[in-house]
């Protein structure tokens, strides 16, 4: 772990992207004004969509580079190229179609095998947590990857507050279901709401992050506002977004992709170059990072546990990782 110093050319300076957003907002307002009366889509019944610029700057206590100094993905790429099927299945759908989503006010229902359960507001959840920046590699199961500076706190710190019972072996998470604000939920592409889960020891691991921000600001809607999971040694789909429910359970919970295609997406979903997806190789990945447009040299070797083996391999000692993929 070393403090990150990405080369200045690799990131969009904040004033620049803020200014860009402001310009875009102005253009948006202008267009809406011009379109009055002739466009139904341009006339929002909800307040204007929050953009990364309207996101608040977060107070960050410390910054840790857990990506070995690798070049970071630009803010623009990380916020305009991702999977969040609730907003559509194309990589640019989340950025395009998440404008109506309202991440505030927010509350999370905590239930199951724990002493302190109930409904907690987001403010409640954040109370007493020290926010830190963690730069993690993010490896998608589709064999591309990014390097993203998340802002959050270890999930374990929150779990301790709820005092799970000895019988609790797993933690199950659920994403919010709001078809009116999440257009992708009107299709049957996945079985909504999205569900994910971790073994309790995985959830308690210090690398497991509950993120509320990225690039120093609150999470944009398209990246899982206001609260999402980041588990850097697992494939990206384990990082459930816009969490409304946390449940402590005794048995391995049913998780969305695992239920949909159990032979393709395991419950553990640890990044593993030796275990291929049945339809494609996981040995290498295309890295999306650095100063933008590179046609060549993007492909790199995928590392066991996404390069976090030293920290997490012991969690799976004695397990057959080919069977428990």
Partner 1 sequence: MVIFRDRIAATKPLVFALCLLPLAHLIWDVTQGTLGPDPVAQLEHRSGDWALRLLLATLALTPLRRLTGLHKLIRFRRMLGLFAFFYASVHLAIYLIVDLGGFWSQLLGEIVKRPYITVGFTAWLLLIPLALTSTQGMMRRLGRHWQSLHRLVYAIALLGVLHYYWLVKADHREPLLYLCVWLTLMLARVRWRSRAAGKPLRAAA
Q: What is the per-residue binding string for partner 1 in 100-139, x denoting contact by CB under 8 A?
A: ----------------------------------------
CB of 287 to partner 1, least distance (A): 10
- Assess 189 for contact with partner 1 (CB under 8 A): yes
How remote is the C-alpha of 240 from its chain's centroid? 6
Contact between 322 and partner 1 by CB under 8 A: the answer reads: no
- Would you count residue 275 as binding partner 1 (CB under 8 A)? no
CB of 278 to partner 1, least distance (A): 9
Within a 13 Å sphere around the CA of 56, how many CA atoms are in the beta-carbon half?
Answer: 8
Q: Select the span of 88-96, 162-170, 210-218, 307-315 touching partner 1 (CB under 8 A).
A: 88-96
According to CB under 8 A, which one of 190, 200, 309, 315 is a site residue for partner 1?
190
Residue number with CB closer to partner 1 (123 or 276): 276
Q: Of 115 and 294, which CB lies nearer to partner 1 in the complex structure?
A: 294
| Pattern 46-85, partner 1, x by CB under 8 A | ---------------------------x--xx--xx---x
Phi, psi at residue 259, to the nearest 5°?
-70, -40
The full DSSP string for 244-268 is: EEEEEESSPPP-HHHHH-TTTS-SS
Q: Does 23 bind partner 1 (CB under 8 A)?
A: no
**Maximum Cα–Cα distance for the chain, whole Å?**
66
Listed ranges 46-54, 86-94, 210-218, 245-253: which one lies at the site for partner 1 (CB under 8 A)? 86-94
- Pick from 92, 116, 123, 250 the residue near partner 1 by CB under 8 A: 92
Q: Residue 179 interacts with partner 1 (CB under 8 A)?
A: no
Closest by CA to 307, choosing from 125, 101, 66, 131, is: 66
Quick one: how many helices (H) and strands (E) in the chain?
A: 8, 13
Binding to partner 1, residues 289-308 (CB under 8 A) = 292-299
- Residue in 119, 82, 113, 111 with CA at minimum distance from that of residue 98: 82
Secondary element (H or E) of residue 212: strand 209-214
Residue from 188, 147, 193 nearest 285 by CA: 147
Q: Is position 283 an interface residue for partner 1 (rule: CB under 8 A)?
A: yes
| Residue 98, token pair as written in the block | 């998440």
Measured between alpha carbons, how far is 269 from 258 in angstroms, rounded to an integer? 9
Judged by CB under 8 A, the number of residues near partner 1 is 31
For residue 249, CA distances in Å to 96, 112, 165, 195 come to: 36, 6, 9, 14
Provide DSSP, 95-142: HHH-TT----S-EEEEEESBSS-EEEEHHHHHTTPPPEEEEEEEE-TT
Query: Rule CB under 8 A: is residue 288 a binding residue for partner 1?
Result: yes
Q: What x-and-dash track marks residues 198-237 binding partner 1 by CB under 8 A?
A: ----------------------------------------
The residues binding partner 1 (CB under 8 A) are: 73, 76-77, 80-81, 85, 89, 91-92, 142, 144, 187, 189-190, 260, 276, 279-281, 283-284, 286, 288, 292-299
């Amino acid at each position: 772990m070393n403090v990150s110093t990405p080369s200045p050319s690799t990131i969009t300076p904040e004033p620049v992207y803020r200014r860009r957003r402001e310009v875009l907002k102005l253009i948006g307002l202008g267009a809406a004004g011009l379109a009055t009366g002739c466009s139904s889509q341009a006339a929002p019944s909800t307040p204007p969509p929050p953009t990364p610029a309207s996101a608040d700057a977060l107070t960050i206590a410390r910054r840790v580079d857990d990506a070995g100094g690798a070049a970071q993905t630009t803010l623009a790429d990380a916020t305009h190229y991702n999977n969040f099927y609730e907003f559509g299945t194309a990589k640019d759908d989340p950025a395009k179609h998440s404008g109506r989503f309202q991440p505030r006010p927010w509350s999370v229902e905590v239930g199951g095998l724990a002493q302190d359960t109930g409904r907690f507001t987001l403010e409640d959840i954040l109370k007493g947590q020290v926010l830190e920046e963690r730069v993690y590699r993010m490896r998608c199961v589709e064999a591309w990857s990014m390097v993203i500076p998340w802002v959050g706190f270890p999930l374990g710190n929150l779990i301790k507050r709820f005092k799970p019972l000895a019988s609790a072996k797993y933690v199950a998470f659920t994403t919010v279901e709001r078809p009116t604000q999440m257009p992708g939920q009107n299709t049957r592409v996945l079985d909504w709401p999205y569900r994910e889960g971790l073994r309790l020891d995985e959830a308690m691991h210090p690398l497991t992050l509950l993120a509320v921000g990225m690039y120093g600001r609150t999470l944009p809607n398209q990246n899982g506002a206001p609260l999402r999971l980041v588990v850097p040694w697992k494939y990206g789909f384990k990082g459930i977004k816009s969490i409304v429910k946390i449940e402590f359970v005794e048995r391995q919970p049913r998780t969305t992709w695992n239920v949909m295609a159990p032979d393709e997406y395991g419950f553990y979903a640890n990044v593993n170059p030796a275990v291929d997806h049945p339809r494609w190789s996981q040995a290498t990945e295309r890295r999306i990072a650095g100063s933008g447009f590179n046609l060549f040299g993007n492909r790199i070797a995928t590392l066991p546990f996404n390069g976090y083996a030293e920290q997490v391999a012991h969690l799976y000692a004695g397990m057959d990782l080919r069977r428990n993929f």
